[in-house]
Amino acid sequence: QLRLQESGPGLVKPSETLSLTCTVSGGSFNSSFYYWGWIRQPPGKGLEYIGIIYYGGTTYYNPSVRSRFTISIDTSKNQVSLKVTSVTGRDAATYYCASRSLTTRRDAFDIWGQGTVVTVSS
């Protein structure tokens, strides 16, 4: 069963860099997925698409976050990562890693991690 697991620091200070990791398990990293994505959800609010990355490393970002967000992939560790620079209070959210698996015929996130909560505070 394909599984995604996010991990991160939980608490980050304003102006610092946030690094999150998504570990993929339960299937072949290079042949079970089309792409992986990051989506965030501020407390009590809706879902915001951050961007996606393909196995070969090609990335696409939401233009609204592009300048501070970087998605990367480490195929040796079966991991996808998200880095956010110059963090502010508006970056406080639950961050989800999600993917489109090869069983889905359309662009859709059919597999989600459980999410990791990020609090921004000094």
Partner 1 sequence: DIQMTQSPSSLSASVGDRVTITCRASQNIRDYVNWYQQKPGKAPNLLIFGASTLHTGVASRFSGGGSGTEFTLNISNLQPDDFATYYCQQSHSMLPSTFGQGTRLEIK
Considering only residues 10 to 29 of the shown chain, the ones binding partner 1 according to CB under 8 A are: none
Interacting residue with partner 1 among 51, 69, 84, 118 (CB under 8 A): 51
At a CB cut-off of 8 Å and minimum separation 6, what does 58 contact?
A: none
Site string for partner 1, 77-96 (x = CB under 8 A): -------------------x
Asked if 24 and 33 touch (Cβ cutoff 8 Å), the reply is yes
Interacting residue with partner 1 among 2, 83, 92, 110 (CB under 8 A): 110
Interacting residue with partner 1 among 48, 68, 85, 102 (CB under 8 A): 48
- 106 binds partner 1 per the rule CB under 8 A: yes
Asked if 51 and 29 touch (Cβ cutoff 8 Å), the reply is no
- What does the DSSP 8-state code read for residue 91? G
Which has the closest alpha carbon to 103: 6, 56, 26, 33? Answer: 33
Nearer to partner 1 among residue 54 and residue 75 (C-beta): 54
Nearer to partner 1 among residue 62 and residue 85 (C-beta): 62
E-strand ranges in 32-106 read: 33-41, 48-54, 59-61, 69-74, 79-84, 93-101
Considering only residues 55 to 74 of the shown chain, the ones binding partner 1 according to CB under 8 A are: 60-64
Terminal CA-CA length for the chain: 39
Q: Give the interface with partner 1 as residue ranges (CB under 8 A).
A: 39, 46-49, 51-52, 60-64, 96, 98, 103-110, 112-115
